């Protein structure tokens, strides 16, 4: 059985020794000891935080990588067996709606008559649409509003932008 009284007595002996040493040093030394102890405690807390954070990231990315690896393996096995099934049975593969629409759109493309060229164009280059004030890139919604209205305001800093119309002559 643990003798708590002897443990407490030992701790009190060490505490009395530390207290007598601490009280015998000058005042600036006491302040420096207190600041040093606080600094060490803060640094230890920060160190423990970043170690736990790193371990959590490590576990998260290991689990995520394992999940993605297993998902890819099972998807590959599924596709392999699906292809084997259709190869062995001779049944035709079902066509997805997206693929069917794409195939029909490629077949039905015929040369169209010459379309009329509008007399005014408003060109907005999406690769060069940045706010000159804060440098943030314009979103798709901002570019659409700029095309429709000709005026847009930056969502970050509020600066307004106006697009210029270009007059095009018909040939």
pLDDT in tens, 80-127: 999 999 899 988 888 777 665 665 555 555 555 555 555 555 555 555
Number of domains observed in the structure of the chain: 2
Give the predicted TM-score (pTM) of the model. Answer: 0.42
Does residue 85 fall inside a structural domain? yes
For residues 126 and 65, membership in a common domain is answered with no
The residue range of the domain holding 36 is 4-89
For residues 152 and 79, membership in a common domain is answered with no
For residues 83 and 158, membership in a common domain is answered with no
Coil, strand or helix at 163: coil
For residues 30 and 67, membership in a common domain is answered with yes
pLDDT in tens, 5-43: 999 999 999 999 999 999 999 999 999 999 999 999 999
Does residue 41 fall inside a structural domain? yes
Both structure tokens of 16: 């009395």
- 8 Å CB contact between 167 and 119: yes
Does residue 131 fall inside a structural domain? yes
- 8 Å CB contact between 134 and 150: no
For residues 30 and 84, membership in a common domain is answered with yes
Does residue 65 fall inside a structural domain? yes
For residues 9 and 81, membership in a common domain is answered with yes
């Amino acid at each position: 059985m643990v003798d708590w009284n002897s443990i407490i007595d030992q701790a009190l002996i060490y505490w009395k020794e530390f207290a007598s040493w601490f009280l015998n040093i000058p005042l600036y030394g006491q302040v420096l000891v207190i600041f040093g102890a606080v600094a060490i405690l803060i640094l230890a807390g920060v160190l423990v935080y970043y170690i736990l954070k790193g371990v959590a990231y490590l576990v998260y990315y290991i689990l995520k990588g394992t999940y993605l690896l297993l998902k890819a393996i099972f998807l590959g096995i599924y596709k392999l067996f699906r292809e084997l099934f259709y190869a062995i049975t001779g049944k035709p593969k079902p066509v997805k709606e997206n693929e069917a629409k794409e195939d029909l759109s490629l077949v039905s493309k015929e040369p169209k008559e010459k379309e009329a060229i509008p007399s005014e164009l408003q060109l907005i280059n999406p690769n060069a649409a940045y706010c000159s004030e804060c440098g943030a890139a314009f979103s798709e919604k901002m570019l659409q509003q700029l095309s429709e209205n000709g005026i847009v305001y930056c969502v970050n800093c509020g600066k307004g932008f106006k697009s210029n119309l270009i007059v095009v002559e018909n040939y």
